Amino acid sequence: MPLKNITQLKTITAYQKIMMKNFTLLLALLIGTFLQAQQTDFVKTFTVEEAVQYAISNNFDAKNSKLDVDKARWRNWEIKSMGLPTLSAAAEYDYYFKQPQIPSIEKIFNDPNSITTQVFGYLAMKDPNILQMLYNYSVNNKDTKISFVMPHNFNTSLTLSQLLLDGRYFIGLKATRDFTKVARLQKDLSDQDIRYNVMKAYYQAQAAKESKQYLEEVKVLVEKITSDTRKIYKEGLTEELDVNRLELTLSNLESQLNITEKMATVALANLKFQMGLDLGSEIILTDKISDLRAKMDPSVLPNFEPSKRIEYQLLETVIRVRHYDTQQRRSGHFPSLVGFLNYGWQAQVDKFGNFFKSREVSYPDGDVRKKSNWFQTGIVGLKLSVPIFDSGNKMAQTQQGKLDEQKSKNDFEKFKQASALQFQSSQAFFAQALSEEQYSQKSVELSQKIFNKTNIKFKEGVGNSFELVQAQQELIQNRLKFIQAQLNLLNTKADLDKAVGK
């Protein structure tokens, strides 16, 4: 092969290698981007307010409270429909395998007071030949029993009814608006409780997370100090006791970190449960405890007005509902009036198939006509129901309603006092938490200064490990106490907001 061709071939091969390398890098970049996008899709981030709003839509209690509102609407329609027209259909088929019979015709004619004799008399007035025919039949068949009921009977009807007067119905109509209001207020109260629980769960989870992160940072620092001390010990510039003390501190720190990790896991799982999230889902909390604390202005405290509490409005509405219930029970003593219209069809035949056939009827003039086996009936009327005596049943129901109404009033007065006590307690706890946070912050600042100076002295060889370990432990405990103090302050602020109805 010529040298020129070999050179060209090497150039092409080198170019292909470069392109393949670039393609591999591009493919790796695309795969990494795809995996990162997939991870982002599965990991959700939440602020406190986002967590609250998610919970109001997905928490199980929130879902049930929404269903209760819908249920109240259907309950109202149930009450209203009692005063609207109702239409019903009925059908009945009877087969007499043994037909009812009456005594012989001769005995009937011997008893002029029998209804059958009177019916025959009426028929005789219409056609005298009928009476003569029946009499001749009775002479020839003295002991024969007869039946006026066909084996196969079918009845069908349509009934239209309308409630015209009923005191219980009209009182129920008045109460429907309050039924819906009670359900809505209960939903608002449920949402408020969900907000309260989610906020406190969020604070707890974030505080546990930050405590864990802080201990991890301290662990890295202690590991470095321990490692440096080992090197100094090998050079003979410190005692083995100093190394042992630092190793013990590191061991205790790892144990404390392990406990904190478990607490953080449990706290995060509790937050997911309160939010209505799947416990296996991944979430990231973006609001730090310090940021949440910075947004709080302790100098601005809410005013207490019991009427703004949802429970206050709810109990007021419940009292009205109880009053309507008492009135409705009392109105059971009053009359009720219902109007109705019934239209039906009935047939009696000797064979089932004759339901669908016509019968032939002979007339005196010799004419034979076909008639349907079905006959029509219609009735319109009013039904008045007047309670007269029920052995005190309705009176007992009314008295129970009055007692329930009084209990609701007692609950209302109890809530007024309890809410005032709750507000006073929340104020006191919030003030105490604020004071503890301020003291804790000062302790952290002092502990940090002490540790920094002790660490410098230890590095310079003028301090010992005992002082360093003690300063480190005090700093860790004060820092964790400060996080807990901030958490307590946020929790007491949530309690105070709930006490005023926020």
Task: Concatenate the DSSP letters of all residues of 124-154 into one string.
Answer: HHH-HHHHHHHHHHHHH-TT--B----SEEE
Tens of pLDDT, residues 157-178? 999 999 999 888 889 988 988 9
pLDDT at 18: 46
* CA angle 468–474–480, rounded 5-degree value: 135
Residue 1 DSSP symbol = -
pLDDT at 87: 95
Alpha-carbon gap, residue 314 to 395, rounded angstroms: 28
Tens of pLDDT, residues 435-484? 999 999 999 999 999 999 988 888 887 777 788 888 888 999 999 999 99
pLDDT at 11: 42
Whole-number mean pLDDT of the chain? 84
pLDDT at 26: 46
Query: Which is it for the CA torsion 242, 245, 247, 249, positive or negative?
Result: negative
> For the chain, what is the largest distance between any 2 Cα atoms, rounded to a whole number of angstroms?
148
Helices (H), 235-304: 240-275, 289-295
Letter for the amino acid at 275?
A: M
- Sorted by sequence, the CB contacts under 8 Å of residue 293 that are 6+ apart come out as 437, 486, 489, 490
SS3 content of the chain, % helix, strand, coil (to 5): 70, 15, 15
Residue 187 scores a pLDDT above 80? yes
Contact (Cβ atoms closer than 8 angstroms) between residue 83 and residue 338: no
The residue among 193, 209, 194 whose CA lies nearest residue 269 is 209
Name the pLDDT band for 35 (thresholds 50, 70, 90): very low
Name the pLDDT band for 97 (thresholds 50, 70, 90): confident
pLDDT at 186: 94
Domain ranges of the chain: 3-43, 47-81+170-326+394-499
Residue 102 DSSP symbol = B
The residue among 50, 371, 334, 366 whose CA lies nearest residue 168 is 334
Name the phi and psi angles at 463, rounded to 5: -120, 170
Task: Determine the average pLDDT of the residues in 362-367.
Answer: 66
Tens of pLDDT, residues 332-349? 889 999 999 999 999 888
Name the pLDDT band for 117 (thresholds 50, 70, 90): low
pLDDT at 420: 93
More confident: 37 or 311: 311
Tens of pLDDT, residues 63-77? 999 999 999 999 999
Task: Determine the average pLDDT of the residues in 104-108.
Answer: 56
pLDDT at 429: 95
Tens of pLDDT, residues 378-397? 999 999 999 998 888 889 98
pLDDT at 356: 81
More confident: 7 or 88: 88
Task: Determine the average pLDDT of the residues in 422-437.
Answer: 94
Half-sphere exposure of 248 (CA within 13 A, CB side): 12
Task: Determine the average pLDDT of the residues in 362-373.
Answer: 72
- Sorted by sequence, the CB contacts under 8 Å of residue 420 that are 6+ apart come out as 304, 306
Tokens 């620092």 correspond to 221
Alpha-carbon gap, residue 178 to 315, rounded angstroms: 11
- Sorted by sequence, the CB contacts under 8 Å of residue 106 that are 6+ apart come out as 138, 139, 142
More confident: 145 or 434: 434
Residue 413 scores a pLDDT above 60? yes
Q: What's the gap between Cα 298 and its chain centre?
A: 36
Name the phi and psi angles at 83, rounded to 5: -100, 5
Tens of pLDDT, residues 201-253? 999 999 999 999 999 998 998 898 888 888 888 887 778 888 898 889 889 99
The residue among 435, 442, 415 whose CA lies nearest residue 499 is 415
Q: What's the gap between Cα 129 and its chain centre?
A: 79
Alpha-carbon gap, residue 188 to 190, rounded angstroms: 5
The residue among 131, 113, 114 whose CA lies nearest residue 122 is 131
The residue among 346, 345, 347, 351 whose CA lies nearest residue 151 is 351
Alpha-carbon gap, residue 482 to 205, rounded angstroms: 16
Task: Determine the average pLDDT of the residues in 277-290.
Answer: 92
Task: Determine the average pLDDT of the residues in 88-108.
Answer: 79
Task: Determine the average pLDDT of the residues in 388-411.
Answer: 91
More confident: 39 or 275: 275
Architecture of domain 47-81+170-326+394-499: Up-down Bundle (1.20)
Residue 39 scores a pLDDT above 60? no
Contact (Cβ atoms closer than 8 angstroms) between residue 81 and residue 176: no
